Chains A and B, each alone.
Chain A
Amino acid sequence: MPLTGIQIFKLLPKTNCGECGVPTCLAFAMSLAAGKAELAACPYISEEAKAQLSEAAAPPIVTVTIGTGDRALKVGGETVMFRHEKRFENPPGFAIIVSDTMDEAEVNGRLERFKLQYERVGLTLRPELVAVKGDSGDAGRFETLVNRVKQNSDAGLILMSDNPDILAGGLKACADRRPLIYAATKDNLESVAELAKSSSCPVAVKASNLEELAQLTTKLTEAGIKEIIIDSGARTIRQAFEDQIVIRSAALNKKFRPLGFPTIVFPAAVTDDPMKEAVIASMFVAKYAGIIVLSDFQGESLFPLLVERMNIYTDPQRPLATTEGIYEIGGTNENSPVLLTTNFSLTYFIVSGEIESSRVPSHLLVMDTEGLSVMTAWAAGKFVADAIAPFVKKSGIGDKTKHHKLIIPGYIAAESGGLEEELPGWEILVGPREGAHIPAYLKAWQP
């Protein structure tokens, strides 16, 4: 359990010198407890207190970084069991497997599919990792493949083998890219730990159950290794699901450090059916995986998984918002209808989806309401005539339409009078309240 402000206060010098930036030691303690200050800001803290405090302040689940630069993947660092309690911090990475026993065409195909990516609410959704498997047993061959993957993509890498010599071959090729070494087991722990230490790369531990897992991570921690990913070894859906929950709960609720690491899972280990594999992966997105290794990527499964991941990892306190502006849906012209809505991403998706399904090309005017939905923004005074009129004027929509008729959401019908007044030359039409009724409305609409 993290220390409370009062517990921290007892360890501070209590001199109220103010050098940390806040006037009193008590205030500083409170800031520390809330995670808003760094212990290092206090110049007079004793070594002993420092040790006690940093032990208590260490996050219950370690954050691990794989890869370097823009594509570096950060996993772990989670602080809650349920997203509504705060938020989930670091979305799980998705990995595609390539093996040194695959032929060249297969490897190329996979590296090509690794590049699949999607734009949504102004974000780019894409996978992060390539897991390179040393199945051939030949370190040279493995090194060559790792090199090829490295040249071919900016992916984060996972080096997969239980043979330390093979792993060493892979590391030689890509240690500078901070790959994840997979895996240390009870049989190779010392040598793989040495590889991780000498290369300063994160390492995964694979055990056959949670108890053994805790023993292995303890040994690695004692050897000075901090960035660890854990694989409980479960290869049935039920056991893997249970392990994810128990690991998270042990780390957060019991502060059990030996399991306070992000996890790695392999949905393909329990099925050969890619559809089923994708559904299992969707379970792990919601329930706590740190890295999800898939046998392959296909658009039909990767896309929904990436979107699900974005959804589940959205901060419940900060709704996703889309960019303000004019969205042209279909082949619009100056006679096309003009609809107004807010920039809450869900509102935008629903309204734009309904316009698309109506097949009536339309201008959708999306106003920045700080990510609030139509009714919430209206109730908060952010989506009212006084705010909408200036936005419509500066949006430039006036130049794109001949008819100057603006369709506003049915829920803000009360604003139509005010808008008519503030937007001379415009006719304000009250559209449907529900998105589902937009297609019928648009089909009947005449300029």
Chain B
Amino acid sequence: MTFEIPKTQYSGQIREITLGTGNKAITVGGETGYPFYLFEGEMPRLPQIAMEVYDAPPDEWAPAALEPFLGVTNDPVAWAQKCINDYGAEMICLQLLSTDPNGLDRSADEAAQVVKRVADAISVPLIVWGTANHEKDTEVLRQVAEVCQGKNLIIGPVEEGDHKKIGASAIAYGHTVIASTPIDINLAKQLNILLGNLGVPDEKIIVDPTVSGIGYGIEYCYSVMERMRMAGLTQQDDKLQFPIICNIAKEVWKTKEVHIPTEEDPALGDAKKRGILMEAMSATVVLLAGGDVVIMRHPEAIRLVREMMAELTASQSN
């Protein structure tokens, strides 16, 4: 009996885009097949993991999430450096939580200064993530774009409601935009078209499909991402051939299940390991669906996911 491996007919390729500048710049994308389907397509490089840094000390984090960053949580620069030096981060995501109008509501000026300090202190690519409040993000991200001119930051979330102003700033100051839509392939495509019409070059767009962790709707983003890859790779839909970014850590670590202490519900096992696994597994699931950049928090979860990717792409001995 002869057995021939059935293969998917691919007709497209995910765009390659470069994040950051200089010798630490990172290129993502370029796949010509489904994620890790190396027997029928190319995955020229591994997906990237960006480590989270917050612009204000986090309150109410699970102890397991806080522990690796003790001592640096009130200083985003030190925090970012710790991620790079101690945990080998190849990319940083600065979450501008403090600008939330429903929270600390820090001004755009202040936020831009923090971003600039971090950007100046590190040479790896820097993602800057706002609060998804259109007015505030417009104000903050435009200022961020200006003070960090030419650094090719990755800024977002850019949504339909604020894409014009933030998009224009990104074009003017040479940054990459995160095109963000709520778990819907058609809306994602539409926003990519709008950004294109605005003049954002194709190699300056990365797509955020809106992700969630295990137990909180991961199946929705999983399927939307699979559909995007299917459209981009097998149906020549060039508006869905952008790399995908997944801001997953903050979704996982805000859930009830990572906050329950071991002794409160022994059936849920060790609280620290549980949190790490919920993050590592959620990241694995979105990577299998097509994530090119995954934003993660816990160094141990990152180690697990890195090992997983390395083994999924290890050279074959037979």
Give the interface centre of B216, B227, B266 by most chain A CB atoms within 10 Å: B216
What B residues does A301 contact at CB under 8 A? 269, 273-274, 277
Kindly list chain B residues whose C-beta atoms are within 8 Å of the C-beta of A307: 214-215
In-complex Cβ contact of A275 among B5, B254, B268, B276 (8 A):
B276
Distance of A152 from chain B, by nearest CB (Å): 19
Q: Is A241 an interface position by the 8 A CB rule?
A: yes
Q: Within the assembled complex, what's the spacing in Å between the Cα atoms of A297 and B212? A: 25
Contact between B215 and A82 (Cβ–Cβ < 8 Å)?
A: no
CB distance from A81 to the nearest CB of B (A): 9
In A104-134, the 8 Å CB interface with B consists of 116-118, 120
Report the Cα distance A299→B314, complex, angstroms. 30
B interface majority secondary structure: helix
Residue numbers in A under 8 Å from B312 (CB-CB) = 237-238, 241
**Assembly CA distance A11 to B102 (angstroms):** 68
B223-A316 in contact (CB<8A)? yes
Hey, what's the 0/1 contact readout for B268-310 against A, CB within 8 Å counting as 1?
1111011011101100110011000000000010001101100
Q: Which residues of B contact A279 (CB under 8 A)?
A: 277, 280-281, 284, 304-305, 308
Q: Does B218 contact A311, Cβ atoms closer than 8 Å? A: yes
**B6 to A253, Cβ gap below 8 A?**
yes
Find the B residue at minimum CB distance from A305: B281
Chain A residues with Cβ below 8 Å from B219 are 83, 311-312, 314, 316
Does A60 touch B at the CB level, under 8 Å? no
Residue among B1, B227, B307 making CB contact with A211, cutoff 8 Å: B1
B interface size (C-beta, 8 A): 59
In the complex, the answer to whether B267 meets A298 with C-beta atoms within 8 Å is no
Interface residue? B173 (CB, 8 A): no
Partner of A353, one of B8, B255, B280, B311: B255
Is there contact, CB below 8 Å, between A280 and B5?
no
User: Which residues of chain A are within 8 angstroms of B38 by Cβ–Cβ distance?
Assistant: 238, 242
Contacts of A314 in B (CB 8 A): 219
Min CB gap B191→A, angstroms: 19
In the assembled complex, the CB of B181 is this many whole angstroms from the nearest CB of chain A, namely 15
* Residues of chain A contacted by B276 (CB below 8 angstroms): 275
Does A1 count as interface, using CB distance less than 8 angstroms?
no
Known: A299-B267, A350-B216. A238 touches B316 (CB 8 A): yes
Q: Roughly how many angstroms separate A437 CA and B6 CA in the complex, as a whole number?
A: 49
Interface string of A330-356 (1 = CB under 8 A from B): 000000000000000010011011001
A199: interface (CB < 8 Å):
no
Chain A 278-300, CB within 8 Å of chain B: the 1/0 string? 11101100110000000000111
Q: Which residues of A contact B307 (CB under 8 A)?
A: 276
Q: How far is the CB of A360 from chain B (nearest CB, A)?
A: 14
* CB proximity of B49 to chain A, nearest CB, Å: 14
B37 at the interface (CB under 8 A from A): yes
Q: Which residue of A lies closest to B133 (CB)?
A: A434
Q: Tell me if B60 is interfacial: C-beta within 8 Å of chain A.
A: yes
Whole-angstrom CA separation of A249 from B215 in the bound complex: 28
Asked whether, in the complex, the Cβ of A241 is within 8 Å of the Cβ of B36, the reply is yes
The residue on A at minimum CB distance from B5 is: A246
Point out the residues of chain A lying under 8 angstroms from B289, CB to CB. 286
B226 CB to closest chain A CB (Å) equals: 5
Closest-CB distance, B262 to chain A (whole angstroms): 9
Residues of B at under 8 Å CB distance from A? 1-3, 5-6, 8, 36-39, 60, 102-103, 214-220, 222-223, 226-227, 230, 254-257, 259, 266-271, 273-274, 276-278, 280-281, 284-285, 288-289, 300, 304-305, 307-308, 311-314, 316-318
Residue contacts A-B, CB under 8 angstroms, 5 given: A270-B311, A278-B281, A299-B274, A312-B219, A312-B285
Q: Which 6 A-B pairs have the closest CB atoms?
A: A299-B269, A300-B269, A300-B274, A282-B281, A237-B311, A300-B273
* New contact pairs (17) apart from A84-B226, A237-B311, A238-B316, CB-CB < 8 Å: A83-B222, A118-B267, A237-B308, A238-B38, A238-B313, A256-B3, A256-B6, A278-B277, A278-B281, A279-B284, A282-B284, A299-B269, A308-B285, A312-B285, A346-B216, A437-B102, A440-B103
